[in-house]
Amino acid sequence: MISSEVTPRLFVPKSDVKIVMVVVDGLGGLPHPDTGRSELETAALPNLDRIAAAGSCGLLTPLAPGLTLGSGPAHLALFGYDPWKNEIGRGALSALGLGMPFTVGDVAARLNFCTVNADGLVEDRRAGRIPTDLCQKLCESLNEIEIDGAELTVAPEREYRATVVFRGDGLAEGVSDSDPQVNGVAPQVPEPRTPKDARMASVATEFLYQANQILHGQHPANTVLIRGFGRFPSLQGMREVYGLKSLAIAAYPMYRGVARAVGMDVADNGLTLDSQLHSLHENWEAFDFFYLHVKATDSAGEDGDFTRKVSLLEEIDPRVAQIEKLAPGVLIVTGDHSTPAVMRGHSWHPVPVVLASPWGIPMAAASQFTERSCALGSIGQIPSASLMTLAMAHARRLHKFGA
Amino acid sequence: MISSEVTPRLFVPKSDVKIVMVVVDGLGGLPHPDTGRSELETAALPNLDRIAAAGSCGLLTPLAPGLTLGSGPAHLALFGYDPWKNEIGRGALSALGLGMPFTVGDVAARLNFCTVNADGLVEDRRAGRIPTDLCQKLCESLNEIEIDGAELTVAPEREYRATVVFRGDGLAEGVSDSDPQVNGVAPQVPEPRTPKDARMASVATEFLYQANQILHGQHPANTVLIRGFGRFPSLQGMREVYGLKSLAIAAYPMYRGVARAVGMDVADNGLTLDSQLHSLHENWEAFDFFYLHVKATDSAGEDGDFTRKVSLLEEIDPRVAQIEKLAPGVLIVTGDHSTPAVMRGHSWHPVPVVLASPWGIPMAAASQFTERSCALGSIGQIPSASLMTLAMAHARRLHKFGA
């Protein structure tokens, strides 16, 4: 049963017990062919091993055996929402992450500033990774675009990436990308998937037409590609579902976005682990639930950099011991999905989880924070979307169901 | 998949293979802080360990990870019914357990005889735990109450506890308790949750008014509190679902009630384990499925009495060997939920299960009947509501699904 489907009357709204969930992005890995040991098995993780040996371990299945998830749905599952029923368009996550004006009825999409040649073919989908301040200037000029019956806001993200939010009657998200995903071909025309998406497709087409007029003659960013249309998600918040005042401490916009989508407050932290820990300390009294996101491990896995992923895990280990000093009632360390360096991408493999609380059942065979050790833990293999119920139970924030 | 959702055509109605399910209430526990060993790990259980080593072990999740269940829903799950979709009001369980006249359309509720002071505030919710024979006399006087358009029956349970069944048109269960659950405040007025509950609320209010007139001046039981409204449950019986003639051998009314709710016959046994075994022997030929309920372990857990729970487990162990002598085709020993003595209450932790049949897969690592050993068993961690399908399979009472 998915945590957010548990009736809210079972959750105890008032409690001093705090829950910390550390999400190490792309945590799980696979054995290195030379050593037979995974990233977690290679890293020296004295604190995580100690917590695993004394606490409850298990494996989380992000959605179902074999399914590989993107970070958006994988995070929704960790927060107890059904990622299958609650798909959030990537553009919506970006708009939420950037804190743009974005509300019910709006549709957001991601933009790439890009270079097309004289024949109209994409020469560089990233426009030479233009600097962020140029991106910001270009966004300002795109904000001049006027479309009949629709308002729009464009905001810069990083380098060549930006996000646009459209507002107006009859907008929908079923529109195809103009981004062809490869160089050497022409951008595509946004097409509606169903008749009710026609209005959004024509607004997007008009937007691209005017953007081309504005950017024409610029270099290297002489056009813009649009992709990942997504409407404002209407999910019940963590407060309504679990009664938890929740704070996200995440550096990257998408993770801040998915946290906002489930009604979390988002801390104003920096990019480093230490700035995230500082933020955790500063906000300790004001919240019940803390989601702390670590991005770099996933990037190392995507780059196929086994050694860098190992080092990053070793950097996280002492920070977990620092979090322990705050004495959370429940401390969870897990990942949203696996990103084995040997696969250079997300995978479907279940993700190790350790849960520390006074009510755990430690298992002698599960005394290390690794994929194989956690497979023998007392939590067993459960869906990611059940983790929040378990966390609430260990926090003693769940009433009994039935007499 | 929930057992009762398996299509009945898969179940084999005629078979000599008998199934015994021993439900040790509140079976699962947690490590004692002084020894690191749970109740099951502390108890000497030579027979249960032998059966575990030779049979199939696993852990049952009563409903979903983290959810703590009351005994009613936890038992429904063991019998293969979805406890989430089939919530049975506590009053209905009591009426069924007491064998009161109770049928489709009726609504039952629990009663507490109680003491109020001159200001109308509850002084003792249990009226000094009046003796059961006084309770019986008071119930007889309440049976004189007449309400326009509704019939009622009041029956004593134990000490200050009784149950009332209302019969009449338009009765529903969505009515709040008059029992304030604490002393020092006034009883509440039963309120309907929705318009269709209005008739039941007004009948209950009239019942309480007349009860007060009858009890006024008595001591210590000078009023009555009402709680746990529940309509007659309309579940398909075990016979219709599985084709099993089923017998419950349980001493306590609630467990007899939940067994009746799923269409079991209920044996006329005494309170002791030995009288329950005697009943099992006597009825051996007449039934296919036997549910034998042991209550005392749960009470010991609720009292936080680790040592008593250990002793009770040691008393059960030789009885299981006696049941083996009857040569059931499938012998299951498990619990409805965990009640760790260190938590003094029900918990969400998965419950050990052992299943003995000729078709099991013993595991070297799962050679003891404990939480941690069963976690490594060949059954794995499955929902309680899947156990009946597994039992039917081991009894060879399940056809193949599909060609």
Residues in chain B: 403
* Residue A17 pLDDT > 80: yes
State the nearest Cα–Cα gap between A291 and chain B, in angstroms. Answer: 19
* Residue A343 backbone zone (phi > 0: left; psi -120 to 50: alpha; other: beta): alpha
Task: Determine the Cα–Cα distance for residues A179 and A208; give it in Å rounded to an integer.
Answer: 11
State the nearest Cα–Cα gap between A2 and chain B, in angstroms. Answer: 8
Q: Find which of B67, B81, B298, B378 to mutate to test the A interface (most A CBs within 10 Å of its CB).
A: B67
Chain B residues with CB within 8 Å of chain A CB: 30-31, 38, 59, 63-74, 83-84, 87-88, 90, 93, 228, 254, 343, 345-350, 365, 371-372, 375-376, 380-381
- Burial grade of B401 (CB within 10 A; 0-12, 13-18, 19 or more): exposed
Task: Determine the Cα–Cα distance for residues A124 and A180; give it in Å rounded to an integer.
Answer: 11
pLDDT, position A197: 97
Local confidence band at A286 (pLDDT 50, 70, 90 cut-offs)? very high
Give the mean pLDDT of B374-399: 97
Give the mean pLDDT of B240-268: 94
List the single residue in B with minimal CA-CA distance to A57.
B375
| Mean pLDDT, rounded, of chain A | 96
Q: Of A177, A60, A40, A66, which Cα lies nearest the Cα of A122?
A: A177
List, in sequence order, every residue forming a beta bridge with A11; answer none if it has no partner.
A398
| Mean pLDDT, rounded, of chain B | 95
Task: Determine the Cα–Cα distance for residues A26 and A32; give it in Å rounded to an integer.
Answer: 16
* Residue A1 pLDDT > 90: no
State the nearest Cα–Cα gap between A361 and chain B, in angstroms. Answer: 7
pLDDT, position A80: 98
State the nearest Cα–Cα gap between A382 and chain B, in angstroms. Answer: 8
* Residue B198 pLDDT > 80: yes
pLDDT, position B316: 98
* Residue A403 pLDDT > 80: no
**CB contacts, 8 Å: A402 with chain B:** 69-74, 83, 87-88
Give the mean pLDDT of A17-36: 98
Helix pair angle (B198-215, B132-142), 10° resolution: 120
């179940």: which residue's tokens? Answer: B11
Do the chains contact at A386 and B348, CB–CB below 8 Å?
Answer: no
Of B70, B228, B376, the CB nearest to A400: B70
Angle at B357 between CA B352 and CA B362, to 5 degrees: 60
State the nearest Cα–Cα gap between A348 and chain B, in angstroms. Answer: 21
Number of neighbours of residue A380 by Cβ within 10 angstroms = 21
Helix pair angle (A273-282, A306-325), 10° resolution: 20
Quote the ipTM score. 0.89
- Per-residue pLDDT tens digits for A372-398: 999 999 999 999 999 999 999 999 999
Q: Of B47, B86, B40, B52, which Cα lies nearest the Cα of B350?
A: B40
* Residue B13 pLDDT > 80: no
pLDDT, position A254: 87
- Whether residue A383 has a cis bond before it, omega within 30° of 0: no
Do the chains contact at A401 and B70, CB–CB below 8 Å?
Answer: yes
List the single residue in B with minimal CA-CA distance to A363.
B372
List the single residue in A with minimal CA-CA distance to B342.
A359
Pairing of strands B246-249, B289-294: parallel
Give the mean pLDDT of A174-186: 94
Do the chains contact at B66 and A391, CB–CB below 8 Å?
Answer: yes
Task: Determine the Cα–Cα distance for residues B220 and B126; give it in Å rounded to an integer.
Answer: 9
- Per-residue pLDDT tens digits for B88-105: 888 998 998 888 999 889
**CB contacts, 8 Å: A363 with chain B:** 372, 375
CB under 8 Å, gap of 24 or more: what pairs does A117-120 form? A120/A186, A120/A187
- Burial grade of A111 (CB within 10 A; 0-12, 13-18, 19 or more): buried
List the single residue in B with minimal CA-CA distance to A401.
B69
pLDDT, position B181: 85
As given in the structure block, the two tokens for residue A218 are: 């610029």
Q: Find which of B60, B68, B336 to mutate to test the A interface (most A CBs within 10 Å of its CB).
A: B68
pLDDT, position A106: 96
Give the mean pLDDT of A222-233: 95
Do the chains contact at B381 and A386, CB–CB below 8 Å?
Answer: no
- Per-residue pLDDT tens digits for A40-60: 999 999 999 999 999 999 999
User: What backbone torsions phi and psi does residue B176 show, to the nearest 5 degrees?
Assistant: -80, 160
List, in sequence order, every residue forming a beta bridge with A300; answer none if it has no partner.
none
Give the mean pLDDT of B280-297: 97
As given in the structure block, the two tokens for residue A214 are: 């504005």
Go through the domains of chain B in sequence order and give each one's CATH number: 7-87+236-394 (3.40.720.10), 92-231 (3.30.70)
Chain A residues with CB within 8 Å of chain B CB: 1, 3, 6, 10, 359, 361-365, 376, 378-382, 386-394, 398-403
- Burial grade of A290 (CB within 10 A; 0-12, 13-18, 19 or more): buried
- Per-residue pLDDT tens digits for A121-175: 999 999 989 999 999 999 999 999 999 999 999 999 989 999 999 999 999 999 9
Q: Of A84, A74, A61, A23, which Cα lies nearest the Cα of A382?
A: A61
Where b means 16+ CB within 10 Å and e means fewer, B19-44 reads bbbbbbbbbbbbbbeeeebbbbbbbe
Local confidence band at B254 (pLDDT 50, 70, 90 cut-offs)? confident
pLDDT, position A349: 98
List the single residue in A with minimal CA-CA distance to B375.
A378
DSSP assignment of B86-134, as one string? ----HHHHHHHHHT-S--TT-EEEEEEEEEE-TTS-EEETTTTT--HHH
Local confidence band at B21 (pLDDT 50, 70, 90 cut-offs)? very high
Do the chains contact at B73 and A402, CB–CB below 8 Å?
Answer: yes
State the nearest Cα–Cα gap between B359 and chain A, in angstroms. Answer: 24
List the single residue in A with minimal CA-CA distance to B365.
A365
Q: Of B259, B222, B91, which Cα lies nearest the Cα of B164?
A: B91
Do the chains contact at B68 and A1, CB–CB below 8 Å?
Answer: no
Do the chains contact at A398 and B348, CB–CB below 8 Å?
Answer: yes
Task: Determine the Cα–Cα distance for residues A232 and B159; give it in Å rounded to an integer.
Answer: 58
State the nearest Cα–Cα gap between A11 and chain B, in angstroms. Answer: 10
**CB contacts, 8 Å: A1 with chain B:** 63-64, 67, 84
Q: Find which of A7, A10, A401 to mutate to test the B interface (most B CBs within 10 Å of its CB).
A: A401
* Residue B158 pLDDT > 90: no
pLDDT, position A247: 98
pLDDT, position A366: 95
């999905």: which residue's tokens? Answer: A337
Task: Determine the Cα–Cα distance for residues A319 and A333; give it in Å rounded to an integer.
Answer: 11
- Per-residue pLDDT tens digits for A329-353: 999 999 999 999 999 999 999 999 9
State the nearest Cα–Cα gap between A374 and chain B, in angstroms. Answer: 12
Do the chains contact at A379 and B65, CB–CB below 8 Å?
Answer: yes
Do the chains contact at A386 and B64, CB–CB below 8 Å?
Answer: yes
Of A363, A398, A402, the CB nearest to B372: A363
**CB contacts, 8 Å: B69 with chain A:** 400-402
Local confidence band at B14 (pLDDT 50, 70, 90 cut-offs)? confident
Task: Determine the Cα–Cα distance for residues B315 and B324; give it in Å rounded to an integer.
Answer: 15
* Residue B2 pLDDT > 90: yes
Local confidence band at A234 (pLDDT 50, 70, 90 cut-offs)? confident
Which positions ≥6 away from A344 have C-beta within 8 Å? A301, A302, A303, A304
Structural contact between residues B313 and B47, judged by C-beta atoms closer than 8 angstroms: no
User: Helix (H, G, I), strand (E, B), or coil: what is residue A21?
Assistant: strand
Local confidence band at A100 (pLDDT 50, 70, 90 cut-offs)? very high
Do the chains contact at A393 and B343, CB–CB below 8 Å?
Answer: no
**CB contacts, 8 Å: A390 with chain B:** 65-66, 348
């329950």: which residue's tokens? Answer: B276
């001049």: which residue's tokens? Answer: A144
Identity (one letter) of the amino acid at B346? H
Do the chains contact at B72 and A403, CB–CB below 8 Å?
Answer: yes
> How are strands ordered across the β-sheet holding B56-61?
B265-266, B246-249, B289-294, B19-24, B330-334, B351-356, B56-61, B380-383
Do the chains contact at A401 and B349, CB–CB below 8 Å?
Answer: no
* Residue B343 pLDDT > 80: yes
Local confidence band at B190 (pLDDT 50, 70, 90 cut-offs)? very high
Angle at B18 between CA B15 and CA B23, to 5 degrees: 145
Q: What share of chain B is helix, strand, coil (3-state, %, to 5)?
A: 35, 20, 45
Residues above pLDDT 70, as percent of chain A: 100
Please report which residue ranges of A262-305 form alpha helices under DSSP H: 273-282, 296-302
pLDDT, position A269: 87
Cα of B343 vs its chain's centroid, Å: 20
Give the mean pLDDT of A211-222: 94
As given in the structure block, the two tokens for residue B172 are: 């529903």
- Whether residue B220 has a cis bond before it, omega within 30° of 0: yes
CA atoms within 13 A on the CB side of B205: 13
Task: Determine the Cα–Cα distance for residues A247 and A251; give it in Å rounded to an integer.
Answer: 13
Structural contact between residues A241 and A79, judged by C-beta atoms closer than 8 angstroms: no
Task: Determine the Cα–Cα distance for residues B251 and B256; give it in Å rounded to an integer.
Answer: 7
Q: Of A278, A304, A293, which Cα lies nearest the Cα of A332?
A: A293
**CB contacts, 8 Å: A388 with chain B:** 66
